[in-house]
Amino acid sequence: MREVVLIIGLCLVLCLLAVPLLCALRLICAIFSPKIRITIRKEWKSHALLVATSVVILVASSVFFLFALRVGPSAIRQAKLAKTQNEATQIQTAILGYYTEYAEMPPSSDNATLIKILTGNNPRANTRRIAFLYVRPDDLNAKGEMVDAWKNPFRISFIDPDHVIVTSDMLPSGFKTDVDRDDH
């Protein structure tokens, strides 16, 4: 992502540099050629305005791209982190919904099997085929496991019948997704 922004910024800077350089080249030629000198006096004001505008655009775009290179990756990481936290909470809520409906925990804490149960795609464990969880195909890996925004599979644990924990490699250690069923 950072490389793409850098390449686009360099292309824009080069394009913007071309206009003032061409204008400056024309002015230099006019100084040394008497024929061009006459027409340059008439066009001087428009060329000066073009050069000034190009320089302002160049400075503004440089500031924008420096800002994008500095802030962009941080904002993307924060968005991915929020998405991962939200999905971990959704998995946990779906497990608690299953428990409320069937009065027992799902028979498996294996990610792929559990996701099939919670989405209603495992009729043996979810006999009513209730979709407790909606998952986009992008959020599943090739094994059918639900993955976080960085494509790491979630780890789902039933510590005891009353305690469920959903974690991911990318979640900060301070983020807790464990919920005690007795609290609800």
Domain ranges of the chain: 2-77, 82-183
Q: Is the pLDDT of residue 143 over 50?
A: yes
Tell me the per-residue pLDDT of 32-83, one tens digit each, with 9 for 90 and over: 665 555 555 555 556 666 666 777 777 777 777 767 667 667 778 888 888 9
Beta strand residue intervals within the chain, DSSP E: 155-160, 163-167, 179-180
Q: What is the DSSP letter of 145?
A: -
Residue 155 has φ and ψ, to the nearest 5°, of: -105, 125
Terminal-residue alpha carbon distance, the chain: 42
Kindly report the pTM of this predicted structure: 0.62
The DSSP element (H or E) to which 99 belongs, if any, is helix 34-102
| CA distance linking residue 149 with residue 82, whole number of Å | 9
Q: Is 166 helix (H, G, I), strand (E, B) or coil?
A: strand
Residue 69 has φ and ψ, to the nearest 5°, of: -70, -30
- Single-letter amino acid, residue 144: G
Give me the residue label for tokens 């959020």. Answer: 139
14: confidence class by pLDDT, cuts 50, 70, 90 = low
